[in-house]
Structure 1
């Protein structure tokens, strides 16, 4: 069950069977924010644009699925990896500041399974005071009762995959929910006592007009979310969407159209009181920012639990085997589920800081740049792509539209 085509996972260095980390990686662990990402790889249908490590019941063998590939046993496998986190960190005090259940569709698991994982994290590692605990959810995969159980079990933030409010756009994306379900799901979350509610949107779907996108923004804002993520559609190699584009059945997203829709989103969201804090994310206030994602963007420590999950602790990055059955088999055998890892050198970490921190509203400290990168700054400022805010370099709105080009100039 553990065979994975070599092209589907990055090449890296071997990982010890017990998953032990190098001593240098453990220096300072617990002094920096520490998060856990829990990957739930199950979906009802595979969306045509998605290249995440997800599986439908049919792809896993349905009722005859191997134990590790069954939704019924998945939570126990994840809890076993949480126990391995504790062993790998030894007796260090490492309270978890954020937990994020992503997927896939985490709420395809019973609410009690997700809260059991939260309880295991609390038992093995401890949750920091005020910890942010998020689950993603599709609007049609959760009920009022589910949300009440999730909230009672310690999950305090929910992110609904709204994507669009327009029926034909959702159909092109292979999304199955009724857009009228979104306001109900948000209302149930509020009634259940969730501290934060986020909505995820996608723009640039083939056939989506500017008016369609405006209708989706209006519908999202009518729900009164604390946070909105809006991502441009990317046609990923190997997806059904990419095959449709290649056959000429659907057009590639147009860069000018994407820019118009991003500008409209920023204007409408800011006018509604949500400010951008990362290129594709807007929040009601600082408390509404996704603290878990900020761990990624600021190079902090996180452990990825689940098949295909990636982790980063103290400059060491590793990734788990992809298939749920292979993942569970390794844990059952007392082995680390990690497939491979890499130790980031100083230059790699510097480059990643430029790539990620530049996307944040707080911007990038100029001293992170090398001499060539610093020499490029005046021209970028003159072109209206960067501004200097205190001692940081911050993207303008035009700079956000051209963030990849700005990075190329700063990292020649």
Structure 2
């Protein structure tokens, strides 16, 4: 089952935010993350807050715990967001439907949530509206409907092109479905398509990974995300590893596969802009994820969704039925929150912005951090350009160690 939520501090019943947080509204980009918690099957490596119909059981028909009524609950939270944030002019620059499998909802339902966000806040003229999708959850007509309701970016969960690797990950799609889905997306009018890959699955050889990278590139995506497999506590994969049925991912193997992917992506015209993300250029970077990496503001809609506004971070109750019950009672669905102090925000800026190709401003570091820069440059882990620190290719492999040196 999904991991537990942190405890945090109590949230007022109406979700009111401190005046200090509201005072910062409009100073940074603002987006919406909409969590859709439904999946047809649970992947063994996944610890996201997702539920199959079997796991929801009898409450699957309850408001908010049912696919049929979920959009209504989400729209209720969008309206609550408007009430909490007040009447400040706050056009939405990005909307991201994640999950779960958002495309298990109808295009009409996803479109109704986009329409509610537009009605309450307004969408920026160039707003990026993304939905994640499993390749086997959509066909051409589904993608045409998604494009018609205002979604303009797709992120397909490819993960691998190798059958035995997909089996270990409990992925159910046929690898041949991926190029078909990308082709259908192009036919439907999408000019921003991303593929997600995972490397380091137990039993995956370097040749397997190379085949997956080449299969992804053959689809000519505009964006690729490639993440190393993490064995999360509480997942089926973690239990298999603990029982000795599968080995833990090997760090040297992960490094080799990252380097292979980076070289192939760069050669194909996909440049890195974040440690685990590559795109054809600035216009095809995931602007929603850039909100997270640059400390901007977003409202997370849905059970277990996290939000951040002006140094206040909060997270919703996990279960879809409990989430919907809170909204039906005209209460905030937030489970708890934390107020970030200036030092907390500085530390997070170092952790996140250092991962970006645009780099971290040197002046964000404290005295001890600045003293460490020279050694990291000498070791070939960092470069300095325009008073910003940028990870080298080797530095990207050792990003966590670099951060530890910069935040002694």
TM-score, with normalisation over the residues of structure 2? 0.98
Q: Secondary structure at the match of 1:237?
A: coil
- Deviation of 1:30 after TM superposition, in Å, equals 2.2
Q: Which runs of 4+ in 1 moved over 6 A?
A: none
1:237 matches 2:233: yes
- Deviation of 1:288 after TM superposition, in Å, equals 0.3
Which of 44, 53, 61 is the equivalent residue of 2:40?
Answer: 44
- Distance, in Å, in 1 between the alignment partners of 2:395 and 2:180 is 37
- Distance, in Å, in 2 between the alignment partners of 1:226 and 1:273 is 9
- Deviation of 1:195 after TM superposition, in Å, equals 2.7
Deviations 1:78-113 (A, max 9, x none): 000000011111111110000000000000111111
1:18 matches 2:14: yes
1:302 matches 2:298: yes
Which of 190, 194, 201 is the equivalent residue of 2:190?
Answer: 194
- Distance, in Å, in 2 between the alignment partners of 1:97 and 1:55 is 29
Q: Secondary structure at the match of 1:72?
A: helix
Q: Which residue of 1 aligns with 2:323?
A: 327
- Distance, in Å, in 1 between the alignment partners of 2:118 and 2:342 is 33
1:180 matches 2:176: yes
- Distance, in Å, in 1 between the alignment partners of 2:308 and 2:83 is 16
- Deviation of 1:69 after TM superposition, in Å, equals 0.9
Which of 336, 342, 348 is the equivalent residue of 2:344?
Answer: 348
- Distance, in Å, in 2 between the alignment partners of 1:340 and 1:64 is 25
- Distance, in Å, in 1 between the alignment partners of 2:286 and 2:136 is 23
TM-score, with normalisation over the residues of structure 1? 0.97
Which of 83, 86, 89 is the equivalent residue of 1:90?
Answer: 86
1:270 matches 2:266: yes
1:143 matches 2:127: no
Which of 238, 242, 249 is the equivalent residue of 1:246?
Answer: 242
- Distance, in Å, in 1 between the alignment partners of 2:151 and 2:57 is 31
- Distance, in Å, in 2 between the alignment partners of 1:258 and 1:152 is 40
- Deviation of 1:61 after TM superposition, in Å, equals 0.7
Q: Secondary structure at the match of 1:81?
A: helix
Deviations 1:284-335 (A, max 9, x none): 0100000000000000000000000000000100000000000000000100
- Deviation of 1:336 after TM superposition, in Å, equals 0.4
1:386 matches 2:382: yes
Mapped contact 2:59–2:65 kept (Cα < 8 A): no
Mapped contact 2:63–2:73 kept (Cα < 8 A): no
- Deviation of 1:63 after TM superposition, in Å, equals 7.8
Mapped contact 2:59–2:321 kept (Cα < 8 A): no
Q: Which residue of 1 aligns with 2:149?
A: 153
Q: Indicate the RMSD between aligned Cα atoms, in angstroms.
A: 1.3
- Distance, in Å, in 2 between the alignment partners of 1:410 and 1:198 is 32
- Deviation of 1:194 after TM superposition, in Å, equals 1.2
How many residues get paired? 408
Mapped contact 2:159–2:166 kept (Cα < 8 A): yes
Summarize the Cα distance change of 1:64–1:331 in structure 2 as closer, same or farther, 3 Å threshold: closer
- Distance, in Å, in 2 between the alignment partners of 1:66 and 1:314 is 34
Mapped contact 2:361–2:389 kept (Cα < 8 A): yes
Q: Secondary structure at the match of 2:141?
A: helix
